Amino acid sequence: MLPLLALPTTSSDERSDGWLAAFHRGDRGVLDQCYREHFATVEGAVATVLDGVDRENAIHDFFTRLISDEKMRWSFQGGTLAGWLWVGARRSAIDVARSRRRERETLSDMKAESTDDAGSTLPDELEARRVVAAFRAGPLPAKWAAVFEVRFLRQLSQREAAAELGLHRTTLAYQELRIRRLLRRFVLSRERP
Domain ranges, ordered by start, for the chain = 11-96, 117-191
Residue 190 has pLDDT above 90, yes or no: no
Average pLDDT over residues 44-67: 91
| pLDDT for residue 116 | 47
Mean pLDDT rounded to a whole number for the chain:
83
Q: Which residue has the higher pLDDT, 111 or 3?
A: 111
Architecture of the domain made up of 117-191:
Orthogonal Bundle (1.10)
Cβ–Cβ under 8 Å, residues 148 and 186: no
Query: Is the pLDDT confidence value at 79 over 50?
Result: yes
Judge whether residue 2 has pLDDT over 50.
Answer: no
- pTM (2 d.p.): 0.54
Written as one string, the DSSP assignment of 137-180 is: HTTS-GGGHHHIIIIIIS---HHHHHHHHT--HHHHHHHHHHHH
The CATH class of 11-96 is mainly alpha
